[in-house]
Amino acid sequence: MEIRLRDRTPVLIRLLNQDDKEELKIGFEKLSTKSKYRRFFVPISSLSNSQLKHLTEIDNKNHLALCAYIVGQDGMFGIGVARYFRVEDEPKTAEFALTIIDEYQSQGLGTELLNLLIQCARKNGIRKFIGYMLAENSSMLKILKHLGAQIRREDGPIQRVDLILSS
Protein backbone atom coordinates (compact mmCIF):
# COMPACT_ATOMS: atom_id res chain seq x y z
CA MET A 1 0.00 0.00 0.00
CA GLU A 2 1.18 3.52 -0.63
CA ILE A 3 0.68 6.52 1.64
CA ARG A 4 2.01 10.07 1.66
CA LEU A 5 3.82 11.78 4.48
CA ARG A 6 2.79 15.27 5.57
CA ASP A 7 5.41 16.69 3.22
CA ARG A 8 3.79 14.67 0.36
CA THR A 9 6.65 12.13 0.11
CA PRO A 10 5.25 8.81 -1.16
CA VAL A 11 5.91 5.82 1.11
CA LEU A 12 5.34 2.13 0.40
CA ILE A 13 4.16 0.02 3.34
CA ARG A 14 4.27 -3.76 3.22
CA LEU A 15 4.84 -6.81 5.40
CA LEU A 16 8.42 -7.20 6.51
CA ASN A 17 10.11 -10.50 5.61
CA GLN A 18 13.43 -12.29 5.99
CA ASP A 19 14.78 -10.64 2.83
CA ASP A 20 14.69 -7.30 4.68
CA LYS A 21 17.62 -8.09 7.01
CA GLU A 22 20.11 -5.82 5.25
CA GLU A 23 17.65 -2.91 4.96
CA LEU A 24 16.74 -3.28 8.63
CA LYS A 25 20.41 -3.19 9.56
CA ILE A 26 21.02 -0.09 7.40
CA GLY A 27 17.92 1.63 8.78
CA PHE A 28 18.99 0.90 12.34
CA GLU A 29 22.37 2.49 11.67
CA LYS A 30 20.58 5.66 10.48
CA LEU A 31 18.79 6.04 13.82
CA SER A 32 20.17 8.57 16.26
CA THR A 33 21.56 7.36 19.57
CA LYS A 34 18.47 8.87 21.22
CA SER A 35 16.05 6.98 18.95
CA LYS A 36 17.91 3.71 19.53
CA TYR A 37 17.73 4.28 23.28
CA ARG A 38 14.01 5.12 23.10
CA ARG A 39 13.40 1.82 21.30
CA PHE A 40 15.60 -0.55 23.34
CA PHE A 41 16.09 1.36 26.67
CA VAL A 42 19.82 0.57 26.57
CA PRO A 43 22.66 2.00 24.51
CA ILE A 44 22.98 -0.18 21.42
CA SER A 45 25.13 0.60 18.40
CA SER A 46 24.19 -2.21 16.01
CA LEU A 47 21.95 -5.25 15.64
CA SER A 48 23.55 -8.68 15.95
CA ASN A 49 22.88 -11.43 13.41
CA SER A 50 20.65 -13.22 15.94
CA GLN A 51 18.67 -10.01 16.55
CA LEU A 52 18.26 -9.49 12.80
CA LYS A 53 17.07 -13.08 12.43
CA HIS A 54 14.58 -12.66 15.30
CA LEU A 55 13.26 -9.38 13.86
CA THR A 56 12.85 -10.60 10.27
CA GLU A 57 12.08 -14.32 10.34
CA ILE A 58 8.49 -13.98 11.46
CA ASP A 59 5.20 -15.82 10.93
CA ASN A 60 2.89 -12.79 10.35
CA LYS A 61 0.44 -14.12 12.92
CA ASN A 62 2.16 -14.30 16.31
CA HIS A 63 4.89 -11.90 15.23
CA LEU A 64 4.03 -9.45 12.48
CA ALA A 65 5.94 -6.44 11.22
CA LEU A 66 5.15 -3.72 8.71
CA CYS A 67 7.95 -1.84 7.01
CA ALA A 68 7.85 1.57 5.38
CA TYR A 69 10.02 2.31 2.35
CA ILE A 70 10.70 5.34 0.25
CA VAL A 71 11.11 4.48 -3.40
CA GLY A 72 13.61 6.78 -5.07
CA GLN A 73 15.80 6.96 -8.13
CA ASP A 74 18.49 5.04 -6.26
CA GLY A 75 16.11 2.25 -5.23
CA MET A 76 14.13 1.66 -2.04
CA PHE A 77 15.29 2.47 1.46
CA GLY A 78 13.58 1.70 4.74
CA ILE A 79 12.41 4.47 7.03
CA GLY A 80 10.26 2.74 9.64
CA VAL A 81 8.95 -0.48 11.17
CA ALA A 82 5.93 -1.27 13.32
CA ARG A 83 5.63 -4.72 14.84
CA TYR A 84 3.85 -6.82 17.40
CA PHE A 85 4.73 -10.02 19.26
CA ARG A 86 1.86 -12.06 20.67
CA VAL A 87 2.23 -12.51 24.45
CA GLU A 88 2.76 -16.23 25.02
CA ASP A 89 0.46 -16.73 28.01
CA GLU A 90 -2.13 -14.17 26.82
CA PRO A 91 -3.04 -15.13 23.23
CA LYS A 92 -5.29 -12.09 22.68
CA THR A 93 -2.57 -9.65 23.78
CA ALA A 94 0.52 -8.52 21.89
CA GLU A 95 3.42 -6.25 22.71
CA PHE A 96 3.96 -3.62 20.03
CA ALA A 97 6.90 -1.47 18.98
CA LEU A 98 7.39 1.32 16.48
CA THR A 99 10.59 2.81 15.10
CA ILE A 100 10.91 5.64 12.57
CA ILE A 101 14.20 7.01 11.26
CA ASP A 102 14.70 10.45 12.83
CA GLU A 103 14.44 12.58 9.69
CA TYR A 104 10.99 11.07 8.96
CA GLN A 105 9.56 11.46 12.46
CA SER A 106 6.64 13.89 12.97
CA GLN A 107 5.46 13.32 9.39
CA GLY A 108 2.45 11.11 10.26
CA LEU A 109 4.18 7.82 9.46
CA GLY A 110 4.03 6.49 13.02
CA THR A 111 0.28 7.03 13.18
CA GLU A 112 -0.24 5.37 9.78
CA LEU A 113 1.92 2.37 10.68
CA LEU A 114 0.27 1.96 14.06
CA ASN A 115 -3.24 2.07 12.56
CA LEU A 116 -2.28 -0.53 9.94
CA LEU A 117 -0.65 -2.69 12.61
CA ILE A 118 -3.86 -2.55 14.66
CA GLN A 119 -5.86 -3.73 11.63
CA CYS A 120 -3.48 -6.67 11.10
CA ALA A 121 -3.58 -7.57 14.79
CA ARG A 122 -7.39 -7.60 14.87
CA LYS A 123 -7.44 -9.96 11.86
CA ASN A 124 -5.13 -12.28 13.81
CA GLY A 125 -7.35 -12.33 16.91
CA ILE A 126 -5.42 -9.82 19.01
CA ARG A 127 -7.62 -7.56 21.12
CA LYS A 128 -5.08 -5.64 23.18
CA PHE A 129 -1.67 -4.06 22.64
CA ILE A 130 0.77 -3.44 25.44
CA GLY A 131 3.93 -1.43 25.08
CA TYR A 132 6.70 0.14 27.08
CA MET A 133 8.24 3.50 26.36
CA LEU A 134 10.20 6.23 27.99
CA ALA A 135 8.25 9.12 29.49
CA GLU A 136 10.36 11.52 27.38
CA ASN A 137 8.87 10.05 24.18
CA SER A 138 6.03 12.57 24.34
CA SER A 139 5.13 12.50 20.63
CA MET A 140 4.48 8.75 20.70
CA LEU A 141 2.60 8.98 23.99
CA LYS A 142 0.42 11.71 22.46
CA ILE A 143 -0.48 9.48 19.49
CA LEU A 144 -1.35 6.61 21.82
CA LYS A 145 -3.47 8.80 24.10
CA HIS A 146 -5.37 9.98 21.03
CA LEU A 147 -6.10 6.32 20.21
CA GLY A 148 -7.49 5.82 23.73
CA ALA A 149 -4.52 4.11 25.37
CA GLN A 150 -4.19 3.90 29.12
CA ILE A 151 -0.71 4.99 30.20
CA ARG A 152 0.86 4.41 33.60
CA ARG A 153 4.33 4.79 35.05
CA GLU A 154 6.30 1.59 35.57
CA ASP A 155 9.90 1.55 36.78
CA GLY A 156 11.70 4.89 36.72
CA PRO A 157 11.21 6.66 33.40
CA ILE A 158 9.34 3.76 31.74
CA GLN A 159 5.65 4.08 30.92
CA ARG A 160 3.39 1.09 30.27
CA VAL A 161 0.81 1.53 27.54
CA ASP A 162 -2.38 -0.56 27.29
CA LEU A 163 -4.45 -0.12 24.15
CA ILE A 164 -7.71 -2.01 23.64
CA LEU A 165 -8.16 -2.78 19.94
CA SER A 166 -11.83 -2.10 19.41
CA SER A 167 -13.45 -3.88 16.49
Average pLDDT over residues 28-55: 87
Nearest to 86 by CA among 65, 68, 67: 65
Domain of residue 135 covers 2-164
Q: Give 2's strand partners.
A: 12
Alpha-carbon distance of 21 to 76, in angstroms, equals: 14
At residue 74, the pLDDT reads: 78
- Could you tell me the CA-to-CA distances from 61 to 94, 121, 124 in Å, in that order? 11, 8, 6
A 10 A CB-CB count for 141 gives 17
At residue 5, the pLDDT reads: 92
88-133 residue pLDDT tens: 999 999 999 999 999 999 999 999 999 999 999 999 999 999 999 9
Q: Please tell me the total count of domains within the chain.
A: 1
CB–CB of 146/114 below 8 Å? no
Choice between 147 and 129, residue whose per-residue pLDDT is larger: 129
Choice between 151 and 76, residue whose per-residue pLDDT is larger: 151
Residue 61 sits in a domain whose CATH number is 3.40.630.30
